[in-house]
Structure 1
């Protein structure tokens, strides 16, 4: 429909007003609130669960694998909470006029025509998009933050709350750029499946048909603006998350130290 993002914003604004640019904000709010709760809470839970399972020394030695496993498990569960809202959001954003007036109107319309399965027909590609995205998001963030502290004078404990949250934002923004690149093709496919999958059409057949229409290059449409969006979003997420941890008296994320009294190879 559009050759670029600025052209798209201009056409939408002229046709629907400023409000049109924010179509789908309701399901975005509810969906990503639910997903964020399960993702971040689940990550902390599973990180400790797997660390206790393998032991402190092994967990530190293979900490990147620990980050990847914990984040993948958390995201698997979080996407089940996100998927119904994502289905509503995509349909609202890809129909003119929007097919629903709001989140719960959209849920009612989908379930009345397609049953509850209609809300989850994009779950597999959502997993395909979000699980690699989250694995990259958490593992790269933890690694980047450790690298930042390793190159700064002193240790992480030498820096105040403001400096630590600034490091969190920087690490989160850089991690977000990597996340956007890794997950963008699947993100495009999720949107196409939610908008264009035919009733009764098999998942594989739908993906094949869509790929034939848009080609490999089509999977990367919109990547620059997504890098800006995801980079900023991820940076702010980590900054807010770590500020909340400081408020609760918990240590900020990243900058992991070796286990006490352990000789780690």
Structure 2
């Protein structure tokens, strides 16, 4: 009787889908879901991002969360806390669309091709491949955003910031921080996706002890939130040094990566702005996964986590 109910539930889920998994429309839904989830969540935490960047660039002046907000408010007004909002919304929206959409594509591609490799390797190479393209899309927006947030007289936003930066530094100005951006986001993305995937499997297999397909939508989204929280915390710690370097380069505190490392100090690379980044990134990553999977569920698709059946069979003993 229970098996019959489970089969009926699966059939209803398939009938309600807007598309088949791994079809062009499926990847389109994943891309749109990534854009909406990443863009809106990053927009919401713009004030914290403004403070984080200023703490990285001028740690003496902005030496704490409470005092940093007070200093920004007194010297530049309340509007300063939302400086760079357009870069957050559109830049991270584009990045999120590429990151999530391409991750789904590469995970299917590599799971079919690299059948002799274990799951972690598939997660790492899929997320790295997607992040390379995602950061290339983000980099111009990030270059303008950081300058808008830390240089009050530079520009008001993307509309006047793009032409001003191009006039001053040319095309190379938009991609000056691409290598450090990769240095920050590639490890973060690889750890984030891998931690998420393994957390999902751990929760279903060891805690709930039920297949994902046999759980309700609410239960699946609950698993998504728990796995997203774990992935955000771990990824933040790994990527913090590169995040400090990116801010230093964009604000001309250093001419290259080696000089930035020397100026900041090895220990400070790992500790500077870390509490704020954990406060900032952890909830953002969790909400991104939740919004992303909610869009997939509303489209009749299963939540994230798991591999193609072929790789499941090939890696069952990995």
TM-score normalised per structure 1: 0.90
- Match of 1:123? 178
Moved more, 161-170 or 178-187: 161-170
- For the residues of structure 2 that align with 1:101 and 1:255, how far apart are their CA atoms? 43
State the shift of 1:222 in Å.
Answer: 0.8
- For the residues of structure 1 that align with 2:172 and 2:105, how far apart are their CA atoms? 29
- For the residues of structure 2 that align with 1:169 and 1:43, how far apart are their CA atoms? 19
Q: Does 1:136 align with 2:191?
A: yes
SS in 1 for 2:265: helix
2:203 to 121, 124, 148: 148
- Match of 1:232? 283
Kindly indicate whether the alpha-carbon contact (under 8 Å) linking 2:84 and 2:145 is maintained by their aligned counterparts in 1: yes
State the shift of 1:261 in Å.
Answer: 10
- Match of 1:69? 125
Kindly indicate whether the alpha-carbon contact (under 8 Å) linking 2:108 and 2:308 is maintained by their aligned counterparts in 1: no
- Match of 1:244? 295
Kindly indicate whether the alpha-carbon contact (under 8 Å) linking 1:75 and 1:131 is maintained by their aligned counterparts in 2: yes
- For the residues of structure 1 that align with 2:155 and 2:72, how far apart are their CA atoms? 17
Kindly indicate whether the alpha-carbon contact (under 8 Å) linking 1:87 and 1:119 is maintained by their aligned counterparts in 2: yes
1:223 to 266, 271, 274: 274
1:193 to 221, 246, 249: 249
Kindly indicate whether the alpha-carbon contact (under 8 Å) linking 1:91 and 1:98 is maintained by their aligned counterparts in 2: no
State the shift of 1:257 in Å.
Answer: 8.2
Q: Any gaps of 5 or more consecutive residues in structure 1? A: none
Kindly indicate whether the alpha-carbon contact (under 8 Å) linking 1:90 and 1:195 is maintained by their aligned counterparts in 2: yes
Kindly indicate whether the alpha-carbon contact (under 8 Å) linking 2:236 and 2:281 is maintained by their aligned counterparts in 1: yes
Kindly indicate whether the alpha-carbon contact (under 8 Å) linking 1:146 and 1:256 is maintained by their aligned counterparts in 2: no
Q: Which has the higher contact order (CA 8 A, sep 6+)?
A: 2
- For the residues of structure 1 that align with 2:182 and 2:124, how far apart are their CA atoms? 15
Number of residue pairs matched? 254
1:23 to 75, 83, 99: 83
- Cα root mean square deviation, aligned: 1.9
State the shift of 1:249 in Å.
Answer: 1.5
1:81-120 correspondence runs (5 A): 81-95=137-151, 97-120=152-175
- For the residues of structure 1 that align with 2:106 and 2:310, how far apart are their CA atoms? 18
- For the residues of structure 2 that align with 1:261 and 1:129, how far apart are their CA atoms? 30
Q: Any gaps of 5 or more consecutive residues in structure 2? A: 1-60
Kindly indicate whether the alpha-carbon contact (under 8 Å) linking 1:67 and 1:138 is maintained by their aligned counterparts in 2: yes
* 1:106–1:154 CA distance, 2 compared to 1 (3 A): same
State the shift of 1:52 in Å.
Answer: 2.0
- For the residues of structure 2 that align with 1:262 and 1:71, how far apart are their CA atoms? 21
- For the residues of structure 1 that align with 2:183 and 2:157, how far apart are their CA atoms? 27
State the shift of 1:217 in Å.
Answer: 2.8
TM-score normalised per structure 2: 0.75
Kindly indicate whether the alpha-carbon contact (under 8 Å) linking 1:68 and 1:139 is maintained by their aligned counterparts in 2: yes
SS in 2 for 1:196: coil
State the shift of 1:148 in Å.
Answer: 0.9
User: Residue by residue, what CA displacement relative to the aligned partner does 1:201-254 show, whole Å, maximum 9, x if unpaired?
Assistant: 5xxxx2232222221232121101111111101101111111111111211112
Q: Does 1:51 align with 2:111?
A: yes
